[in-house]
Structure 1
Amino acid sequence: MKTSHHILAECRYTRRIWDLTAIWIAQPSLRLNAWLLSSNAIEWWTYITTILDSPRKALRCLTLLIMWEIWKERNARVFNRHENSTTTLMTKIREEAFAWLVAGQKT
């Protein structure tokens, strides 16, 4: 049985998404080799979103967005037998992050 921790942080596809995200936002602490071992999703998420010298609120919003997109990808694979490449999912994540940014801007 696959756990939420496995789906969000441990599977090969997901790990590639986190590495690409780390490169995209220039946040090396999101790279796999910077992660501490964790036994569950909450412990893992708390660790990666409480990194020193990073805007905590923005990082938490982004990680939640990525987790949501990974979860939707998982559901598409399980229920619709449709798989996206990591490139396609990263494009979706970037577009959605931009939409969130625009929606939260104050004029």
Structure 2
Amino acid sequence: MKPFDLERAKAGDPVVDESGDEYRFILHEPDALASHRVILFNTTTKTFSKCFEDGKTLNKYHPRLFMKPVKKTVYVNFYSDGSAAYHETEKRALECANHHAFASAVLVEIEL
């Protein structure tokens, strides 16, 4: 999992804990006690949680927060020299494939 990133959480990127519960960012107060500076809403349990700015919590049941992985589907061309190139669409992958490609427009799910 990707480490907790306060700026990404503030921008609305999804946050999860180690058990898979999802959170939505609510508030960041830099002047609060260190363990209360970030407030999030647990969309799974419908409760509020607080954490340090690095995503660590004092809650023994959900001790750490992470950025939820974002998955994207792409089409990859693999070349005989060991390189590869990905494209947003199958059509574009096929258009860009050349005679050195040994596999063209292979559907792959990547994590951003």
TM-score, scaled relative to structure 2: 0.25
Q: When you count helix as a share of all residues, which structure comes out higher? A: 1
Find the structure with the greater CA-based Rg: 2
| Structure of higher RCO (CA pairs closer than 8 Å, 6+ residues apart) | 1
TM-score, scaled relative to structure 1: 0.26
